[in-house]
Structure 1
Amino acid sequence: MEKITTHLTAAAIPTAPVLVLRPWMQADAIHLVELYRDAAMRRWNSVRIHDRAGAERWIQEQRQGWETGERRAFAVLEPGDGSADEQVVGHVVVKGALPGATSAEVGYWTAARARGRGVAPRALEAVSGWAFDTFTDTGLRRLELVHQVDNRASCRVADKTRYAFASTIPAAPPEYPLDAHLHVRTHR
């Protein structure tokens, strides 16, 4: 398996410490169950996690994604309050960065307790840089970010991380019930 741990180089900000991105581990399952109790998580994510078994299955799917190269998912963590423990505050993923692929998709979510503190933009910036550094030699030139049109917070994250608005994608019910925005970032 390729090296899959990276650290953000962005300094801590007054409202949030430095973030660490690492692959999901089975020990994270209990945290996922708690995070998915949030109504916003259920609204914006198509995945539904109701219990520990569901969380463990989801984590196993993320780990399999690393093995196949189809998706490289990271847990986003920040240090705990004064201890060595880290808390899961989000998720960021690169999907489809396969040899010869010129584009890949990125996605993310943030825990309720971490919203409004720059977690999503910093995690997305870190994974975007990592993806271009890691996969440009195999053809990657473009990263795409897709979100529902009514998700204004995701538009702000896209703007902050230099993902330019490219187009509106028509809804495709039932899987995609609402129109979506496509934002794009190209490798310099």
Structure 2
Amino acid sequence: METPPLDLGELRLQPWTDDDVDAVFAGQQDAASRLWAGGGALDTRDDAVALVDRLRSQPNRASWAVVDAASGELLGSVTVHSIDLGQGNAQIGYWTVAAARGRGVAPRAVDAACRWVFGALAVDRIELCHAVENTASGRVAEKAGFRSEGRLRRSFRYGDGAKHDELLWARLSDDPAPDLSTRS
């Protein structure tokens, strides 16, 4: 699915390019990224090439590189996937490089992606899941306007090879949009 660039002031969401591969590989080497990687850890540059190719070419997905608008530095990724226009549902995933964490990057990127999907596609529900132990992702979900809906037992195998319980969140198209005008 072709995704338009989205300008958010200090942040920019833009389509993936081959030029992003080295930054993706470098940005996915810290312990937290390797543990919580939904598609598996990136052990080689070729793994990063495959990830970028997958992010920009799979159908039923809208994916952006999240970059610093001034420097162009890669800060993370946000992807709306498993888009089912018949049901009006989708799922969202994201990650940030270590240096971007705690700066409000993920909540703003997730919110912008949701707003675009709700406005451009026949989607009225976006789900977000994260491992129970990944409390930072719970804070992102809450700040980005998602509501907690429950716990999924042993639902996903993460980078440590173990299946983890996940928390399920959802945002509906008519839920109040979050106010992310200040960093948090």
Q: TM-score range by the shorter chain?
A: 0.7 to 0.9
What is the match of residue 15 of structure 1? Answer: none
Between the aligned partners of 2:116 and 2:83, the Cα distance in structure 1 is 11
Among candidates 144, 154, 159, match of residue 161 of structure 1: 144
Of structures 1 and 2, the one scoring higher in RCO (CA 8 A, sep 6+) is 2
Q: Which runs of 5+ in 1 are unaligned?
A: 12-17
The 8 Å contact of residues 164 and 183 in structure 1, kept in 2 or not, is answered as: yes
What's the CA shift string for 1:30-79, capped at 9, x where partnerless?
Answer: 111111211110011132212222111111111221xx2x2211110003
In structure 2, the CA distance between the partners of 1:173 and 1:34, relative to structure 1 (3 Å rule), is: closer
What is the match of residue 62 of structure 2? Answer: 72
Residue type of the alignment partner of 1:28: D
The 8 Å contact of residues 5 and 15 in structure 2, kept in 1 or not, is answered as: no
What is the match of residue 55 of structure 2? Answer: 62
What is the match of residue 22 of structure 1? Answer: 14
Aligned 1:132-171 pairs, distance under 5 A = 132-136=118-122, 140-171=123-154
The 8 Å contact of residues 156 and 165 in structure 2, kept in 1 or not, is answered as: no
What is the match of residue 103 of structure 1? Answer: 89
Shift of 1:154: 0.8
SS in 2 for 1:170: strand
Identity %: 33
Q: What is the TM-score normalised by the length of structure 1?
A: 0.84
What is the match of residue 43 of structure 2? Answer: 50
Among candidates 129, 144, 166, match of residue 180 of structure 1: 166
The 8 Å contact of residues 8 and 123 in structure 1, kept in 2 or not, is answered as: no
SS in 2 for 1:171: strand
Between the aligned partners of 1:105 and 1:173, the Cα distance in structure 2 is 14
Q: Which aligned runs of 4 or more in structure 1 are off by greater than 6 angstroms? A: none
Q: Which has the larger radius of gyration?
A: 1
Shift of 1:173: 6.6
Between the aligned partners of 1:72 and 1:173, the Cα distance in structure 2 is 22
Between the aligned partners of 1:99 and 1:51, the Cα distance in structure 2 is 35
What's the CA shift string for 1:132-161, capped at 9, x where partnerless?
Answer: 00113xxx1100000001111111111111
What is the match of residue 110 of structure 2? Answer: 124
Between the aligned partners of 1:162 and 1:181, the Cα distance in structure 2 is 15
Q: Which runs of 5+ in 2 are unaligned?
A: 175-184
The 8 Å contact of residues 5 and 22 in structure 1, kept in 2 or not, is answered as: yes
Q: What is the TM-score normalised by the length of structure 2?
A: 0.85
The 8 Å contact of residues 95 and 104 in structure 1, kept in 2 or not, is answered as: yes
